[in-house]
Amino acid sequence: MSIEHGPNPEGREQSEGRFRVGVESVASERHPERNEDAFIALPDRGAFAVLDGVSGEFETGAGKIGSRTAADALYAVIRKLSPAATLAERQEQARGLLEQAHVAVQTVRREKKIDGAKSTAALGLVHREGNRTFLVTDNIGDSRIYTMRHDGQLEPITIDDYLLAWAGNDEAQARQLQKKLDEVSRASELPPAEREIFTHRNDPAQRLGDSRELRHHLQVVELNPGDRILLTSDGIHDNLTSQEITELLQARSDPNRAASALIDAACERSRDAHHVRAKPDDMTAIVVEPKF
């Protein structure tokens, strides 16, 4: 299936001519019966997304409703998108997709009176124009998109909303801080102010379904032969450092094995009560390998 809401989807690696895709998603060990992450993998449309339900109400499961609603809304619209679009039009499509998911979640919150139904989102659209290939991204909250370049360098494309807000929307400063926090393995490595930011890095600052308007963070990067795309919910990148993610990807050329390895390592870290990064959570990883 191209859209999955539960753990351990069947057919996690899909070959659709233009891509090899590996996907893994598991529920938090705190609530193994309920995965509040959702994802979309539509290789035939070059569309991929990770959504992480955020309710703030642990026992209600409202976050699951938020992520599922957003995923369903995205899926329905992506299927209707015309593949004939310019790069500028693809950027407007990305913005429009998250806006429609935002409205869908707002509607569920209002009509079903489920205030906690909200979600983060990271959306990636692969666009081909002539002999060039681009990745168009938009994100809300702290779900992420990276590229793993052909030389093995991991490059974060998205920036977490919380860090952007802290930096006063100074993108360069937010990126620098995100890079630093992504390598922290001991709290003592940080001065008090940054330690406080690290402790509260899970605050998404904005979510699909909030009452206020979205602040979009559109990014465009060009892809080259050998590059890969990684989408993660925060259960992956909060538990693992960027270096650990890099090493896990570098060691596995198969997208499905790479996604599974990220999940396994993040799960193991989440159980380490003595590690500063450890955090039980739902976890989703999508590894996309475009074919050139």
Domain boundaries, the chain: 3-159+207-290
Q: Write down the pLDDT at residue 15.
A: 45
Host H or E run for residue 63: helix 62-78
- Is 229 a residue whose pLDDT tops 90? yes
Lowest mean pLDDT among 45-59, 154-168, 246-260: 45-59
Mean pLDDT of 194-203: 88
Q: Write down the pLDDT at residue 133.
A: 96
pTM of the model: 0.94
Helix, strand, or coil here: 49?
A: strand
The C-alpha atoms of residue 67 and residue 121 are separated, in whole angstroms, by 8
CA atoms within a 13 Å half-sphere pointing along the CA-CB vector of 257: 7
- Per DSSP, the chain holds a count of helices (H) and strands (E) of 8, 12
Q: Write down the pLDDT at residue 16.
A: 52
**What are the CA-CA distances from residue 253 to residues 75, 113, 181, 226 (Å)?**
28, 46, 27, 10
CATH domain 3-159+207-290 topology: Phosphatase 2c; domain 1 (3.60.40)
Q: Write down the pLDDT at residue 84.
A: 86
DSSP 115-164: TT--EEEEEEEEEEETTEEEEEEEEESS-EEEEE-TTS-EEE-S--HHHH
Q: Write down the pLDDT at residue 14.
A: 47
- Is 11 a residue whose pLDDT tops 60? no
Give tens-digit pLDDT for 67-84: 999 999 999 999 998 878
Both structure tokens of 140:
């809300």
- Is 6 a residue whose pLDDT tops 50? no
Q: Write down the pLDDT at residue 8.
A: 36
**Angle formed at CA 69 by CA 66 and CA 73, multiple of 5 degrees:** 140
Q: Write down the pLDDT at residue 289.
A: 97
Both structure tokens of 97:
């997709």
Both structure tokens of 213:
């308007």
Given a contact cutoff of 8 angstroms between Cβ atoms, the answer to whether 93 and 85 are in contact is yes
